[in-house]
Amino acid sequence: MYFGSHVSSSGGIDKAVERAIDLGADAVQMFIQSPRMWRPVNHKDENIARFRELRDEHLQGAVAHAIYLINVASDDPEIWEKGATALAHTMTIGARLGLDGVIFHPGSHKGAETGLAGCVDLIAKACLRAIDAGEREAAAAGTSTPYLLLENTAGTGGTIGRDAEELATLVHATDDHGQLGVCIDSCHWWASGVDVTDREALDRELAILDDAIGPERLRAIHLNDSKTPLGSNRDRHDNIGEGLIGDGLGTFLAHPRFEGLGAYLEVPGTGDGTRPEDITAARTLRERALARA
């Protein structure tokens, strides 16, 4: 397992790699545009080249997180179209940057009576369009297509992807496209009712996921503690070891299924995001849990 962090990409996408290196991380996650705006950033070739150069030299992994505005579960054609376009754009830039993955939240049906069944095809259609955009750009840029990774959610309101079954349903809806994978967030699992401090609970949930979609689709981890209780369905990240999951997060970190994957922190720090000590805390927690096992 290697450790990464979400960092800002302001001032140029290559600055994200520099920030990750400064944190002592092995990997980087960033937005490729402002998370609060639809307007895409025009990345300069020189910044993209510098990103790839720094990443190849210093890091083991690099992923992008798609912006939170995207909701491709929406049955409003305008909202869906905006989201699908932004997701495809993220895959395009991701291919140009040579990223391992593009992580996104499957969205919310906002309490529609048709629930998950009513939006599965909408989400799948957006995924296929984004993967297609990534594949085309990768072919043109001579890179490889990033995996498009569905992230599990905390289960708030009508959000999709609250458990392994829902993630599997979405993968199946794309005819099990080989470029689609999943990213598991420890805080979201906890909030949606999976006790990540309990080895048996983890085994159970991972077995459901592996049986339904195959082990190779699990491509990344989001590593966060939680400010809210188990099963609260509320998504509030806390610093590693400082929240309600606490040192029990070591059990999650030491699970053999996560060996070799990148664990990306999305923690508040003191308000400005991950600090070097947060990465150290994660490394220490894992080492201690492995020593106990």
The CB-nearest residue to Zn ion is: 222
CB of 29 to Zn ion, least distance (A): 9
CB of 151 to Zn ion, least distance (A): 6
CB of 8 to Zn ion, least distance (A): 16
Name, in order, each residue with C-beta under 8 angstroms of 42's C-beta and a sequence gap of 6 or more: none
Q: Which is nearer to Zn ion, 179 or 226 (CB)?
A: 226
Residue ranges that bind Zn ion, judged by CB under 5 A: 185, 222, 235
Q: Which is nearer to Zn ion, 54 or 206 (CB)?
A: 206
CB of 123 to Zn ion, least distance (A): 17
Q: Which is nearer to Zn ion, 166 or 185 (CB)?
A: 185
Q: Which is nearer to Zn ion, 43 or 222 (CB)?
A: 222
CB of 105 to Zn ion, least distance (A): 8
Q: Which is nearer to Zn ion, 222 or 255 (CB)?
A: 222
- 10 CB-side CA count, 13 A: 3
Q: Which is nearer to Zn ion, 52 or 255 (CB)?
A: 255
CB of 153 to Zn ion, least distance (A): 8
